[in-house]
Structure 1
Amino acid sequence: MRAHIWRNAHRASLATRPNYNARFLTTDSRGRLSKFWAPTGGISPQDGEQDDSHALLLKGGFLRQAHSGVFHLLPLGLRVQNKLESLIDKHMSSIGASKVSLSHISTEELWKQTGRYSSNSELLRINDRRESGFLLAPTHEEEITALVANMVHSYKDLPLRLYQTGRKYRDEKRPRQGLLRAKEFMMKDLYTFDSSHETALKTYDEVRQAYTNLFNELKLPYLVADADSGNMGGKLSHEYHFVSPKGEDNVWSCSSCNYVANEELVEKPTPQTDLDAIAAPAEPSPPLVFTGISMDRKTAVRIVIARPSDMPTEAQPPWDTISSVVNLHAVKRVYPDLDTGIEPATLAKLLPATETQQTLYSPTTPTTNEAPASAEADISLTRPGDPCPRCPTGHLAVQKAIEVAHTFHLGTRYSAPLSALVAVPHATQKEAIHMGCHGIGVSRLLGAIASQLADSAGLNWPRAVAPFEVVVVTAPKVDDADAVCVYDALEGIDAVIDDRAGKSLGWKLRDADLIGYPVVVVLGKSWKSGQVEVQCRRLGVKKVVERGRLKGEVERFLGQL
């Protein structure tokens, strides 16, 4: 009875509006799935992906694959992406960053000036009629630095913080895992410009705090790891990860302290000599010797490491198995010019023509009667349970993780070769600007969030980025005006009515689980007495709520998501 009184009162309020009542009804701005393209279902899982979050994104109507590693976003997926962008905009604004939109097209010439052209095999190149040497930018350090170099000439114009959210491209050899490894992807890239090293480091800390605030707002667990800068340049960088079995990174963390590091930078504690253990050493097994080659093909690189205790003394693994015994990241820190990706057959042909030899030892390997050109470093693999390098009691554990963001302090890596110089006080000539680069993989983040919370029923979005925060689901016999009343009672909440014709209540509820709305409001049998059922799968809640308490209950659930 109360439901009818509420509904009739709502109709009466519409009827009293002067003359334009019909126009109001025909331009109803309420969110309705009948007016929203959400092609859910109908996609069969492939390649054993029955429970895979990417398969759920397809089945839930968020995206479709256009080509290998290339995807179209559908309306639901675009709503998630737009909310991610709005969240990013808020936190970039908090540090005074201005938003720009740079061209997707860059030039080989700029990349050659910074030395990244020859070393980057993932560049997607464009052949125009003039063979102009264009490429589709996988990142924009070169372009943004060239832009700033032409417009900023004094330290008084700094600091400057510019960012964009746009498409990036890479010639990915093996696109896989949907949005996590694609040829075309959305990325937020922030570039910071400071007049000195000290101010650049302060900016770096401010950006890291903004990233922390952003990821905290998602209310999902994440790791921040010390990371290697790679060919980006600079010596200071951090990665942001979601722990996931789908991840391609190995992130090591301590059981006792806050030490977290990517496998490229994970450290080993300084070994302590135990004098009591030196007596009567066992006969050492012959070491393993791998021979690689430098990038310029002129130097043979011998890598000598203690033989694992479970390996027969006569065994000598081939070069392409070196990563199972040797920490190649540690090797590259000592000898950066080592070609770690060369094929064994090619290596065998090139080694006889090398001119010099470099030898690298692990500290526990005997080094007598070896070539004088040698170096020593701990190049053994880090193992689960190894001691923490930062605290006396902790031990290391490793987890697979998805990298979703990365911050780099670049220094003058790009400003110097591209002549981004400014006049500074008490200097006789201009000095190179100090830069930082800070990225968030927007489309990758979309896929990673889906992976974090998906379950057997479907996706499960955090409130901050859900396509809609609430869906109002009605049984077939419930009047549309009743659904409108409930929708209007949720004013200020991003809600949508599932008013699609010909669908049963059970079908709509299964579809709501598949899409992953944070909260579902059901108008079923209880509606006759003015009550609705509120469901939150992530919190494990199903609760019958009086109409007057509906918004408060929904907001309470959303506040936990």
Structure 2
Amino acid sequence: MLYSNGLKQGSGAFIRSHVSASTWTRRLHYDGRNRLSNIWTPTQSKKPAETSPEDGHDLLIRAGFMRQAHSGIFHLLPLGLRVQEKIERLIDKHMLSLGASKVSLSSLTSEGLWQRSGRLEKGRGSEFFRLEDRKGTKLLLSPTHEEEITTIVANAVHSHKQLPLRLYQVSRKYRDEARPRQGLLRGREFVMKDLYTFDSTEQSARATYETVRQAYSAFLNELRLPYLVATADSGKMGGNLSHEYHFASQAGEDTVIKCNKCDYSVNEEMYAGLAQSSPELESPEDKNWTFMVSKDHRTLLIMSCERGRDINVHAVKSVFPDVDTSVEDPVEVWKAEHPDAVDQGTDPRMMWLASASAYADWCHLDMSTGEPLDHPDYLVTGAEIKQGLAIINALQGVGLFPVEDFAITQLGNLDLTKARNEDRCPNCSSGHLTLHKAVEIGHTFHLGTRYSEPLDLRVTDASNTQKLVHMGCHGIGVSRLIGAAASLLADQKGLNWPVAIAPYTVVLVAAGKTRVDDVGSVYDTLQRSGSLDAVIDDRTDYPTGWKLHDADLIGYPFIVVLGKAWAERGAVELQCRRLGVKEEARVEDLAVRVAEMSARL
């Protein structure tokens, strides 16, 4: 094959791109080997004045993996794209194990489908990127594809004999996040894997769900990064069974609660704890008071707990779903909505959510000041509330009331407060809880008929009766996984990629007077092992020290240096920063040593 300048393809054929006939710039070397001289890696040196610590997002930019285009929108550069492609190949492998077929759905979707499913304005309308074509057709940039895939299958699948069906894609998604943050961890454009499953019965759909969970575990095990699995709230997706998959990280926005004795593991949103024993609290000052208001602003919720603990908003919602948690000053909003009622002691109403673990006796509030007020004639005692949580509902008015003016509803052994480390486990009672900050990187949902019913996805069963199809939706955040993995292993020197998704497993660096051909021969030896992904740093414009610092910044799992030992004994130096290893190795042993160290990472 001849290139445009007449050179033949082959080892040693250099092509120089130039700005002008007299100014030479980059050298491109085409010999079938991975060479950094051929790959655009726009790394940036950290300025001496920049003393603040860098997080994974900062390092991804400085190491040349990506650049920011707009708030929450990023461009992947060659190294970043290579990481993404490796993740996608792993996903393909494990989706194939499920018998799933890969599809590619359009990034544009019809508003009409979302209206049919009931999701167009149901709590997420502001997240849509909306547009119209020249004919006035209303479209969305797809934030997810349940509506589209359900419609496709509904038009093509009509018999239970065509099920089960498993379809997946890796595609871009769009959500107009109000506060994009932490780079790839919460963006407005991102890449996700979605697996959609279709079964003829509830029983088979749940069996499929468990099979998918096993595939997710196998996928995450290949990454060799510590992860958590937690029972989760299905939220806006629908359905009544879901699990989240997390990397434990201080950069995470989620909290996973785990027991040290049993398999209890839940997202904080699903936590419903046992009432914890605590000392009797004798005065209002011993309590932490929290106020919330209902969505119609007619009911004020008053809660108290032991000072030092916090009210669990999710527990409150479990007993009073109508609470509006977006209001910053609930008492003032409640008063402002009904000023006359406050003065006259009539409607609206107040509701106390009382936890027996928080106090011995009940005290009320002076609503003119909003301050706790001891009033010995009007107390509901801890003994009356017994163990757990009670709703004490003021039947009318807002003043101080005798006990007989309240309706007390027992809610069992439910705790109103957030979990803390060492709290008793609500599942086994004998274990203690540990809280982990975490980044969600995957989610599995059993959807049931949430989408098949409004979008009319039905099949005929063995008796020729039309039945709704049972669905599942299972996601992996590819972009988020890149950002989370970068943050998880980064140190003061740079990124530190797990072997499975590193842009390259090994970088070869020549030091001193080592010949280029020698580096090529070591590269070829590694490649013949069949399992290593190596690259040669053959950039001639940089000294060895700079190359080694650049290799640390990029985060290759292994660095191989051909230096003094090579010149004297034909041996190389093998470095692994995560293991703290620098050792001499023979070329013929190099692939084996890299494999052995990889097993320890």
Same fold (TM over 0.5): yes
Q: How far did 1:362 drift?
A: 3.2
1:319 matched to which residue of 2? Answer: none
Note if 1:258 corresponds to 2:263.
yes
Question: Does the Cα contact within 8 Å between 2:300 and 2:334 map onto a contact in 1?
Answer: no
Answer yes or no: is the 8 Å Cα contact 2:572–2:584 preserved in 1. Answer: yes
Q: 2:501 aligns with which of 450, 457, 465?
A: 465
The match for 2:170 is 165
**How far apart, in 1, do the equivalents of 2:518 and 2:316 lie?**
68
Alignment match, 1:539: 579
Task: Select between 248-257 and 398-407 the one with higher mean Cα deviation.
Answer: 248-257
The partner residue of 2:538 within 474, 496, 499 is 499
Please point out which of 429, 434, 455 is paired with 2:491: 455
**Cα deviation, residue 86, structure 1:** 0.3
- Does residue 1:136 correspond to 2:141, yes or no? yes
Q: Which residue of 2 aligns with 1:58?
A: 61
1:199-226 deviation line (CA, Å, top 9, x unaligned): 0100000000000000011111111011
Partner of 1:379 in structure 2? 416
**Pair 1:549–1:420, CA change in 2 (3 A):** same
Aligned twin of 1:331: 316
1:498 Cα deviation after fit:
0.1
Q: Which moved more, 1:103-112 or 1:375-384?
A: 375-384
Out of 411, 418, 432, the residue aligned to residue 395 of structure 1 is: 432
Contact kept in structure 2, 1:360 and 1:374, CA below 8 Å: no
**Deviation by residue 1:110-167 (Cα, 9 ceiling, x = unmatched):** 2222222211031221243344221111111111111111111111111111110011
**Cα distance between partner residues in 2 of 1:351 and 1:190:** 50
Contact 1:470–1:494 at 8 Å: present in 2 too?
A: yes
Q: What displacement does 1:269 show?
A: 2.9
Aligned residues of 1:468 and 1:517 also touching (Cα < 8 A): yes
Are 2:549 and 1:510 aligned? yes
SS in 1 for 2:436: strand
Q: Which runs of 5+ in 1 are unaligned?
A: 1-19, 311-323
Q: CA deviation at 1:30?
A: 0.3
**2 CA distance for matches of 1:191 and 1:105?**
18
Q: Which residue of 2 aligns with 1:559?
A: 599
What SS is found at the alignment partner of 2:514?
A: coil
Unmatched segments (≥5 aa) in structure 2: 1-6, 14-29, 342-346, 357-361, 363-379, 381-391, 393-402
Distance in 2, Cα, partners of 1:54 & 1:257: 35
Instruction: Check whether the contact 1:305–1:361 (CA below 8 A) recurs between aligned residues.
Output: yes
Alpha carbons 1:305, 1:380 under 8 Å: kept:
no
Distance 1:289 1:457 in 2: 45
196 and 64 in structure 1: CA distance in 2 versus 1, 3 angstrom threshold = same
User: 2:299–2:334: 8 Å Cα contact kept in structure 1?
Assistant: no
Instruction: Please state if 1:485 is matched with 2:521.
Output: yes
Deviation at 1:300, TM superposition (A): 2.8
CA contact 2:292–2:323 (8 Å) conserved in 1 = no
Q: SS at the partner of 2:324?
A: coil
User: What letter corresponds to residue 539 of structure 1 in structure 2?
Assistant: L
C-alpha distance in 1, partners of 2:335/2:130? 32
Cα distance in 2 for partners of 1:292, 1:455 equals: 45
Q: 1:181 maps to what in 2?
A: 186
SS in 1 for 2:251: coil
Distance in 1 (alpha carbons) for counterparts of 2:263 and 2:312 = 23
Residue matched to 1:4: none
Query: Residues 521 and 535 of structure 1 are in contact (CA less than 8 Å); yes or no, is this contact kept in structure 2?
Result: yes
1:247 aligns with 2:239: no
| Shift in alpha-carbon separation, 1:229–1:489, aligned structure 2, 3 A | same
Describe the shift of the 1:180–1:46 C-alpha distance in structure 2 as closer, same or farther (beyond 3 A). Answer: farther
- Between the aligned partners of 1:252 and 1:359, the Cα distance in structure 2 is 29
1:316 maps to which residue? none
User: TM-score with structure 2 length normalisation?
Assistant: 0.81
Question: Given that residues 251 and 261 in structure 1 are in contact (C-alpha distance below 8 angstroms), is that contact kept between their aligned partners in structure 2?
Answer: yes
Task: Give the direction of change, closer, same or farther, for the CA distance of 1:52–1:416 in structure 2 (3 Å limit).
Answer: same
**In structure 2, what residue type is equivalent to 1:80?**
V
Separation in 1, partners of 2:290, 2:550: 58
Aligned residues: 519
CA distance in structure 2 between the aligned counterparts of 1:260 and 1:511, rounded to whole angstroms: 40
1:8 alignment partner in structure 2: none
Q: Name the counterpart of 1:37.
A: 40
SS in 1 for 2:522: helix
Kindly state the Cα deviation for residue 291 of structure 1 after the two structures are TM-superposed.
4.6
Q: Which of these residues, 87, 92, 102, is aligned with residue 90 of structure 2? A: 87
1:423 aligns with one of 460, 467, 470: 460
Shift of 1:451: 0.8
Q: CA deviation at 1:387?
A: 0.6
Cα RMSD (Å): 2.8
Is contact 1:244-1:400 (8 Å) kept? yes
Q: Do 1:361 and 1:374's aligned partners in 2 also have CA atoms closer than 8 Å?
A: no
Alignment counterpart, residue 74 of structure 1, candidates 66, 74, 77? 77
Task: Identify which of 354, 360, 371 aligns with 1:362.
Answer: 354
The 5 Å alignment of 1:79-118 reads: 79-118=82-121
Bigger strand fraction: 2
Aligned 8 A contact 2:294 2:301 in 1: no
What is the TM-score of this pair, normalised by structure 1? 0.86
CA distance in structure 1 between the partners assigned to 2:49 and 2:196 by the alignment: 40
Which residue number in structure 2 is paired with residue 445 of structure 1? 481
* 2:512–2:564 CA contact under 8 A, matched in 1: no
CA distance in 2 between partners of 1:227 and 1:221 (Å): 19
Between the aligned residues of both structures, percent identity stands at: 51
Cα distance change on mapping 1:291 and 1:55 into 2, 3 Å: closer
1:390 deviates by 1.6
Residue 407 in structure 1 maps to residue 444 in structure 2: yes
Asked whether the equivalents of residues 229 and 245 of structure 2 are also in contact (C-alpha less than 8 Å), the reply is yes
- Amino acid corresponding to residue 404 of structure 1 in structure 2: I
Change (3 A) 1:535 1:325: closer
1:433 and 2:472 correspond: no
The structure-2 alpha-carbon separation of the partners of 1:199 and 1:370, relative to structure 1 and needing over 3 Å to count, comes to farther
Three-state SS of the structure 2 residue aligned to 1:545 is strand
Counterpart residue type for residue 578 of structure 2: R
Distance 1:124 1:175, change over 3 A: same
Cα 1:47/1:527, change in 2 over 3 Å: closer
SS at match of 2:492: coil
Counterparts of 1:45 and 1:466, CA distance in 2: 28
1:479 aligned partner, one-letter code:
R
8 Å CA contact 1:359–1:371 kept in 2: the answer is: no
SS in 1 for 2:542: coil
1:233 paired residue number: 238
> Structure 1 392/329 Cα, relative in aligned 2: closer, same or farther at 3 Å?
closer
Q: Distance in 1 between matches of 2:117 and 2:335?
A: 32
Give the AA of the match of 1:519. F
Report if aligned partners of 1:292, 1:347 keep a CA contact under 8 Å in 2. Answer: yes
